[in-house]
Structure formats: C-alpha cells, structure tokens
Amino acid sequence: MTTSPAPCSRSWSISEDSLKRYVQFASESCIQDLLSASDSNRGIGINNGNDGWKVLTLENGVEISKRRSGNGSFHTFRSRWLLRSVSPEQFITVANAIDAAKQWDPDLVEARYIKDLDDNLSIIRLKFGDNSKPLFRNREFIVYERRETMEDGTLVVAVASLPKEIAAGLQPKQNNAIRGLLLQSGWVVERLEGDSCMVTYVVQLDPAGWMPKCFVNRLNNKLVMIIENLKKLAQACPIDGDDT
C-alpha cells in the first residue's frame, strides 16, 4: 500500500515587479482605510452610527473603539490619542512594524527587512521566540510597511501581512514557526498646534486560528494600547533642529 505524501503549503513564485505592484495596490487600500478611520472632523469619544465605529472607552483624552470586520469574524480596533508635547516628527520615528511588534511581546527574536521595494515600501519578517507569551510563541509575520506623507502634512504608516501564498514563496516558513496574519494595521499622525499631534492606531490581527475568536478580539483590543509605550519612546527622540 502506497502512502500519499503529506500535503504541503501552497506558495507562489512572484517577480519583484509583480510583488511591488501588488503591495502598492494593497497598501493604498490600507492607507485609505486608515485615513477614513482617523476622521479628523469627528471629535474624540463621539459615536457616529454611520461609520460603524463603537466607542468602548474614553479616558484622559484616549479613545478606544471597535468596528465589526467585513466577514464578521474579527473586530477591527482603533485608538485615538492626543499627544501633547510630542511632534509628528518625533512619533513617526517609532510608528513602524518593528517597534510595534516589540510592544506586542518583548521576545521578538528576529525583525528583518527582507526586501525594499521602494524608498517608502518594504517587506519585513517578524519572528517571536520560545520565551514569548503563549499568544505569540513561535509565531511569525511577513508584512509590508508603507510610509506616506499626505498633501496636508499628515503622516500615514500602513502595515499588513502578505497573502500566505506570496509570503511562502518569498520567505519559506522555518522550523516550527506558525504564520500569523496581521490583517490590517497602521498609524495616522496629524499635526496640531505647537509640538503636539493626534495619533490614530488601527489593528486587526488573526493569529492563524490557535485561539478562540473572542480571545483574538480581546488581544486586538489590548494591542491598541501600545501607543502609550511608543509615546515614551518618541519623547526620548530629539526633535529635528534641536542642538541642545
């Protein structure tokens, strides 16, 4: 009796030009979603039944809200923070995939740029180790990161996973690592008067099915709180032009 070989994960071989076109298209959609979520014309803490966002908490100028995703399985979570005495230039230095992942879990054993597709567009591998909390233990994410400055000076950073087939072709899964999916995330940093800014952070994470969806949604809610730690990192960054 012949034993059939175990099925392997599908992977797609893709040219760099095709990869760049795909990521530009996907990241543009993500950027538009982030800008819509930031909605600078709507005050913090105000529910608007037309946009689908439901305010969960509002404390000390920090709003946490959620919106049901298109497929209804996972919620998208959003935090909006008014950061005083933190300029957009300061915060944008820590608004990136790697610094955010370090806040998810400190046992980030690898954070490597796989490929730069453009000056503002990169592919990154994030790998958590054996000492991570159970939610991230041996999980890895293959994500793109795109950074844009809008005409009005608003800064946007979009970060999300590549489709699993493209990720497998670009970076084969190693050892016992489990691929998680960062469905959508990113920052919108808006300049306010003085050295202050309004920061919106959005995240929707699917940790590849290793925990019940209700716990995944709790995790997503927790992740939006990372701005507090990123704020502390940003405050330690010098402002351009300071000579002191």
Average pLDDT over residues 142-151: 96
pLDDT tens track for 30-39: 999 999 998 7
Average pLDDT over residues 44-62: 73
What band does 212 get if pLDDT is binned at 50, 70 and 90? low
Residues 6 or more apart from 110 whose CB is under 8 A from it?
125, 126, 127, 140
pLDDT tens track for 184-196: 899 999 999 888 8
- pLDDT for 25 beyond 80: yes
* pLDDT: which is higher, 87 or 217: 87
pLDDT at residue 7, as a whole number: 41
Average pLDDT over residues 162-182: 85
User: Dihedral through CA 16, CA 18, CA 24, CA 27, nearest 10?
Assistant: -100
Residue 231 DSSP code? H
pLDDT at residue 213, as a whole number: 66
pLDDT at residue 223, as a whole number: 76
